[in-house]
Structures are given as structure tokens and as C-alpha cells.
Chains A and B, each alone.
Chain A
Amino acid sequence: MPYQQDCTVLNLQALNSHTYELLLEAGGIAEEARPGQFVNVSCGEGRLLRRPISICETSAMQLRLVFEVRGAGTEWLSRRDIDDQVSVLGPLGRGFDAEDKRVLFIGGGIGVPPLLWAAEGAEHADAALGFARADRVILADDFSRVCTRALIATDDGSMGVHGTAMDAANRLLAEHTYDLICACGPKPLLKAAAEAAAKAGIPCQVSMEERMGCGVGACLVCAVPLRDKNGQVYYGHVCKDGPVFFAQEVVFDD
């Protein structure tokens, strides 16, 4: 069940030049949250729409969010002070099903944080995480803590594998077997992860993004093209049916 709650900022910390980690006192929201779900955060007077942010992790009634400054809303959020109140709606949507499985997590950029908590809950977790450059790498220590193998890739080769998250993932897939792939990041990465999973004959879950209104499934603005069992294409909704979908349902090239 979702709640709408004013949450106290416990900590706000820059992870790099434009990525922040926000720790909120979140009571029931944190208690009911599952890995891969998201919250819808009010980002200041004059911005009518809440901003969807995935839950990175929860512990003891606290919500850990990691976000990138993209526009005015996330910029506002990055300027909160400790003890400020932020209105949060959540937990929302459907998350990952990684529990009790051997899972390969594939994340790109700001798509990395939503995978952390799911990795913690998996029976066995490996991760392939891609970033633009070494100075953009985030959560490397957290993933090393919860994963057996955590490979970092950078586009310019300044850290780890020279290439994308998928290049790192292919190395892991060549040597190990998994029950499931969980992916979050840019669409081309999700599509590549889905193709790799299909090739390996295992299911794949992807976390999708779309612009949102209500965040709860009432306004139908966050449409995502999906394919039903008969191959018929229809519009599902990221906030309610997702954000995490089985890749075989998703129509990637629309």
C-alpha cells in the first residue's frame, strides 16, 4: 500500500559533480518497499508534478535515493538541507523478482542505483555496471559488498573494462550461468540485455522510464508499448504495471 508522507532529510551527499544520495526518514514507505519499486517526490513550489525516483535501498524506516540532476526539479532536490521535509508518495509500482535466484545485474549510469537492493536479496549476485568515465562511477563499494563479482566498465576506458555495461556483462555471461538478468539504464542497454538473456535462454527483467503524472495508475499518461500473450501490442503503464517488466513483454523499437 502506498503512503503520501512528509519525510525528513537525514542526509544529502554529492557522489560526484551531479549525482546525489538522499537519505530520508520514511516510516511506512520504507517498511513496505520492495527492491525495484520507486517513489514520487515533490520537488518544490511551482512544480506541479512529482519526480519519480527509484528506491536504491531501505533500512530501519529509512529510504536511500540516488539521483542525477537533470533539470529544475532534481536541482531543487539536490539543494535540500538536513531536517528539511520532502513530500514522498510511495512505494509505487512493481519491482524485481531476484530473491533466491542466481542473478546477473546489468546497469548503466543512473540506472545502477535501483539494482543495489535487489542484488542484496539475490541468492547469488554478479553485476556489470557501466559509466561514462571513472569520475562518474557510483556505488562501486556497495556493489562489491553485495555481489560475488562486480565488473565496472567505462566508455573511455578510464576505469575497468573499456566499453559499455554490456561488454562487461558478456564477459560474465561467457563464464557463468544465471537464472535471471535484471537490467536498468538507457533503452539500448535494456534491449541488449534482453537479447543476451534470450540467447542464454533465461528470463530478463528491465526497469523502464516514462514521464509520469499521478504515479499510481490513475491518469494513464506513463504509457509503454507491451506485447500480450497473443503478440498483440497494447499500452501498459510504467507506474503501475512496472517500472520493472519482463523483457519479452516490452516492445523496444516503437
Chain B
Amino acid sequence: MTDLHVELAGVTLKNPIVVASGTYGFGREYGQFYDLSKLGAICVKGLTLQRREGNPPPRIAETPAGILNSVGLQNPGVDEFIAKELPFLRQYDVKVIVNISGNTPEEYGQMCEKLSEAGVDLIEVNISCPNVKAGGLAYGTRPELAAEVTAVAKAHATAPVMVKLSPNVTDIVTIAKAVEDAGADALSLINTLLGMRIDLRTRRPVLKNNMGGLSGPAVFPVAVRMVYQVRQATRLPILGMGGVASGRDAAELMMAGADAVAVGTACFADAYAPVRTRDELARYLEENDLNARELTNTVRPW
């Protein structure tokens, strides 16, 4: 059998397939369909220090080969997660990645302390959410702010820190380097691309928030390009994501430079997408006589 395990910031995942933050709740729902231990890691819904209600509905619009969402980080808060959701996830043999967003660098620091103490495997620092007004995207689009948040998170975390980059920038490499210099242990990319749809009849945006984040197959080529660029420019391990819907997509993103791959929006069409992607990737690796670690960054650019 093909050796599927990979390393991400010193954390060993039994296979390279992760589920993307915000598309998979805290694992309970899709856990009704299959054993969560089949996944390499679960990245949970983005948490904030305090509970957040999120944006008014409608929060979703369908687009060609994708969706726009404007959930706006609805979540129960980090303490409630640690008390109620983390014990559930710990029943499974799967690594737990916790995605966090703060209004200030200090909030990121406080959450890193709490989550490290609670023993999560990896912290994903979201500096790229397009759906909240404060913090979020602002941190992700300015290198000096991205570096500051990273440094504060690192100073307060004992768990490894992965920083999630925004694609809504002119030069993702500058941000990636700033975050690397500030001490990040890994990078994840891409978050959603800011987009908009309008209902022709009412002339109203479909989303009540007017704009939202684009995900799904439509963004896949952007993800491949950005993972490739960041891999060329930094030494950090990469969790790649954006539109992955099959084992071939996962292989392509790994070739571009990803060490592991997250499946997100694809779950909505096929609840089994992460497991299917894992199996298809395993078959691809077997056919090519590779283990999972041998695929990363093997693209041969012209």
C-alpha cells in the first residue's frame, strides 16, 4: 500500500487530505457519513475570542463552477469550542487544526494561548477573511500587519502556527515572506476571492452582505498559481486549497508545491469528497510509484 503520510509544520498527517475551515463545521455533520479518522486533519470553522452571530442571510450564491459565501465567521467562541467540540474531535484518530480570527493582534495571542493549552495540533491564523469588517482581510493584505499578527501568535502559541493567506492581493509573495520572517511554521492558501452577484430582476446583490468570498473549482487555477509562487519564494510547508474536488486536483496542487491539500466547497456537492479525493490521490500515487511526500514541488516549469 502507498505510504500516504505527510509532515506539516512538524505535525504528521496520516494522509495529505485535510478539510477546509468553514466548510466542515466541527466535523459532527459529515462524521455521520464516514469515520473522521479517514482524514489527515480536520480544520474547524473559524473561531473568534467571543461568540459571533455572522452576517444576515442570504449568505450564499451559486456562480459558474463555484459559490460566493458571506457567513461572516458565525461561531460559538473559542472557549465553547474547547469545552464542547474539541472533546468530540478527540475521539477520532485525526489531527485537529483550529482556524482563528481576531480584531486585534492581542486577540490572536489570547486565542493561541487557550488553544495551545487545550492541546490542539496546529493553529491556522486566518488573516484573510473577506467577510468581516475589522481585522481579517486588512491583516492579510498588508505585509507589516500580517507580520505583526504572526509574531504575536507565535509568541503566545506552543502549538505550531500556520498562517492562512488571502488571494485578494497584488503580490502574495511579499505577504508570504513577511509572515515567514515573522516566524510562521507553515502557510495555508488560498482563502476565498472577493466576488459579487446581482439579481437582474430586483437589481439587488444576491448576498445580503453585497459581496462575498468565491470558492470551488472556479478558483482552482488561482490556487495552483499562488501555491506555486509561494513555494518558489519561501521554505515553509504549505497546506494548499481552493477548488480541489478530486485526487487529480490534489496531485496538481501538490506538484505546484503543497505538502497537504484541503477540500472545502466540494463537500457540498459530494459529502464524501474528502475521502474520495484521498482514495483517488492514493491510486494516482500508486500508479506513479510515489509516496505522498515525493509529489510536492515536482512541477517542471518551462
A216 at the interface (CB under 8 A from B): yes
Given the complex, which residues of A lie within 8 Å of B33, measured CB to CB?
2, 4
Given known contacts A4-B272, A49-B268, A211-B58, A216 and B74 CB-to-CB distance under 8 angstroms: no
Our pick among B28, B45, B66, B269 for the contact of A50 (Cβ within 8 Å) is B269
Q: CB of B62 within 8 A of chain A?
A: yes
The yes or no answer to A231 lying at the interface (CB within 8 A) is no
Within 8 A of A (CB), among B130-175: none
A residues 206-248 touching B (CB-CB < 8 Å): 210-225, 234-235, 240
Structural contact, B65 and A218, CB atoms closer than 8 A: no
Q: Is A1 an interface residue (CB 8 A)?
A: yes
A-chain residues with CB within 8 Å of residue B45 when the two chains form the complex = 220
* B287: interface (CB < 8 Å): no
A2 touching B71 in the complex, CB below 8 Å, given contacts A89-B271, A219-B22: no
Residues of B within 8 A of A220 (CB): 22, 25, 45, 54, 59, 71, 74
When C-beta atoms are compared, the residue in chain A nearest to B54 turns out to be A235
Give complex CA distance A73, B71 in Å.
Answer: 23
CA distance A119 to B119 in the complex (A): 51
- Check if A48 sits within 8 Å of B56, measured CB to CB: no
Q: Which of A28-58 contact B (CB under 8 A)?
A: 42, 46-50
Q: Shortest distance in angstroms between B299's beta carbon and chain A's nearest beta carbon? A: 27
Q: Is B32 an interface residue (CB 8 A)?
A: yes
Q: List residues of chain A with CB under 8 Å of any chain B CB.
A: 1-2, 4, 42, 46-50, 89, 210-225, 234-235, 240, 254
Sample 30 A-B pairs with CB under 8 A, ordered by A number. Answer: A2-B33, A4-B33, A4-B271, A46-B64, A48-B62, A48-B216, A48-B265, A48-B269, A50-B268, A50-B269, A211-B57, A213-B67, A213-B69, A213-B265, A214-B267, A214-B268, A216-B271, A217-B28, A218-B25, A219-B69, A220-B25, A220-B45, A220-B59, A222-B59, A223-B55, A223-B56, A223-B59, A223-B74, A235-B57, A235-B74
